[in-house]
């Protein structure tokens, strides 16, 4: 992270003033967020890359409309989320499997074969469970559990009410639990 812009507010201000180095720092700082939202919604690397690129183009073009008193992450997340949803509406049917790296599970380095197999099974189970969710619910789960967004930030990002976000997250968790239990994950841990 560039020390000149330690806070998002400073970075946003520099971007609004048109500083190229600030724009590069913003893209570097927020590409992981935009990518995770896009890949969870679209489930296709090429489409997610295109969505991220278009989202940052939109951000650049509309920076004058950004309210510098608000946090940057939900604003950028909202643009990436809506761009991904827009692309989803005109792309291929849902169901393209994620690659294990898309789940951003921690890499434990060299591990015994039985542990590696179990990790692979877990990734596969998570992939199947996430695939059972709608694109919007996958995005909500990503924002809440991976990005550590508060419900209010998710509501701002998705332009849903906070109560709608809570209900959808609750239902998504229930659906994930059902799918994982059906795959044998719940029963396995209950017997231990």
What is the C-alpha radius of gyration for the chain, rounded to an integer number of angstroms? 18
Mark the ranges of the chain whose per-residue pLDDT is less than 50. Answer: 1, 92-117, 119, 187-192
> pLDDT tens digits, residue range 80-111?
999 999 988 765 444 444 343 433 333 434 44
CATH architecture assigned to 111-192:
Orthogonal Bundle (1.10)
- pLDDT at position 124: 66
Length of the chain counted residue by residue: 192
Q: What is the CATH number of domain 1-92?
A: 1.10.1740.10
- pLDDT at position 108: 37
- pLDDT at position 22: 92
C-alpha–C-alpha distance, residues 168 and 104, integer Å:
23
Residue with tokens 């924002």: 143
Tokens of 117: 């197999």
Cα 94 to Cα 44, 49, 76, 91, 177, distances in angstroms: 9, 17, 24, 9, 21
C-alpha–C-alpha distance, residues 146 and 126, integer Å:
14
Do 134 and 24 contact (CB within 8 A), yes or no? no
Q: Record the pTM.
A: 0.66
Domain ranges of the chain: 1-92, 111-192
């Amino acid at each position: 992270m560039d020390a000149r812009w330690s806070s998002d507010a400073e970075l946003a201000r520099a971007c609004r003033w048109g500083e190229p180095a600030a724009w590069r720092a913003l893209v570097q700082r927020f590409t992981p967020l935009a990518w995770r939202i896009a890949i969870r919604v679209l489930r296709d690397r090429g489409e997610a890359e295109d969505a991220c690129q278009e989202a940052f183009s939109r951000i650049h073009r509309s920076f004058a409309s950004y309210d510098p008193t608000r946090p940057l992450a939900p604003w950028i997340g909202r643009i990436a989320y809506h761009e991904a949803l827009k692309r989803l509406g005109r792309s291929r049917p849902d169901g393209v499997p994620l690659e294990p790296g898309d789940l951003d599970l921690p890499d434990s380095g060299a591990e015994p074969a039985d542990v590696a197999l179990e990790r692979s099974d877990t990734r596969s189970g998570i992939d199947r469970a996430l695939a059972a969710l709608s694109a919007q619910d996958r995005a909500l789960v990503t924002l809440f559990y991976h990005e550590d967004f508060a419900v209010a930030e998710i509501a701002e990002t998705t332009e849903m009410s906070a109560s709608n976000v809570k209900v959808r997250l609750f239902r998504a968790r229930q659906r994930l639990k059902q799918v994982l239990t059906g795959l044998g994950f719940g029963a396995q841990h209950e017997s231990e």
